[in-house]
Amino acid sequence: MVRAKAQTQKCCTTNEKLSLPDVAWAEDLAKLTWALAHPARVRIVRLLLSRTSCMCGEIVEEMPLAQSTVSQHLKILKQTGLVQGEVDGPRVCYCINKAAMAKLKKLIASL
């Protein structure tokens, strides 16, 4: 997602430009917003928020997508930290990571 390939063009030629914290901040926010940048993932997050927790199978039933596709979206949500999943016997129980959600909200609100 982030290439960060070294460019020929100079950057930071003056103090006002591109302070490194800003770059990191931007990457942070971009990562979180990217997690929500697909309707299916937004819907999964909403579903989890409405239930405090949810079996994977229930999510699949709610979505007009194949099980493998839902699993992929869940993987992305886990990678970004917005969602946590814990194994419960043969099933997996997913829930929102409230800290990550709070971080997203904070970053957006401070825009």
Burial of 34 (C-beta count, 10 Å sphere; 0-12/13-18/19+): middle
Q: How far is the CB of 9 from DNA (least distance, A)?
A: 7
Choices 18-26, 44-52, 71-79, 97-105; region in contact with DNA by CB under 7 A: 71-79
Partner whose footprint covers residue 21, from a copy of itself, DNA, none (CB < 5 to 8 Å by kind):
none
What is the Cα–Cα distance from 103 to 109, expressed in whole angstroms? 10
Q: Please give the angle made by the CA atoms of 91, 95 and 96, to the nearest 5 degrees.
A: 160
Torsion of CA 60, 62, 66, 67, to 10 degrees: 0
What is the Cα–Cα distance from 30 to 15, expressed in whole angstroms? 24
The residues in 39-58 that bind DNA, with binding defined as CB under 7 A, are 40, 55-57
End-to-end, the C-alpha distance of the chain in Å comes to 21
Residues that bind a copy of itself (CB under 8 A): 1-2, 7, 9, 11, 17-18, 22-23, 25-27, 29-30, 33-34, 36-43, 45-46, 49, 61-66, 101, 104-105, 108-109, 111
Can residue 89 be called a binding residue for DNA (CB under 7 A)?
yes
* Residues in touch with DNA (CB under 7 A): 1, 3, 5, 7-8, 37-38, 40, 55-57, 60, 65-69, 71-76, 85, 87, 89-92
